[in-house]
């Protein structure tokens, strides 16, 4: 099953379900959309990173909590 990511939103909040080079399992991300794509703020380490929408749609990678 896939997370549904709308075209227009202010912020997406979700939880990482895998480890990456920046994120750890359980980290909460705040995702916004800008001219370059999707930017995620990792609330644990307070760093931004570019994320691909395919990563956000994958329920094995990202748990969608809320869309604002």
- Which pLDDT belongs to residue 52? 94
* 50 within some domain: yes
Strands (E) located in 1-68: 12-16, 28-34, 37-42, 47-51, 62-67
What's the domain range around 29? 12-67
* 6 within some domain: no
* 54 within some domain: yes
- Which pLDDT belongs to residue 9? 96
* 2 within some domain: no
Q: What is the pLDDT along the chain (68 residues), one digit of tens a residue?
A: 789 999 999 999 999 999 999 999 999 999 999 999 999 999 999 999 999 999 999 999 999 999 99
* 1 within some domain: no
pTM of the model: 0.91
CA angle (60 as vertex; 11, 22 as ends), nearest 5: 60
């Amino acid at each position: 099953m896939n997370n549904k990511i709308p075209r227009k939103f202010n912020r997406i909040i979700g939880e990482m379900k895998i480890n990456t080079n920046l994120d750890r399992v359980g980290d909460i991300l705040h995702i916004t959309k800008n001219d370059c794509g999707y930017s995620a703020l990792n609330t644990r380490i307070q760093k931004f990173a570019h994320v691909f929408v395919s990563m956000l749609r994958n329920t094995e990678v990202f748990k969608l909590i809320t869309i604002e």
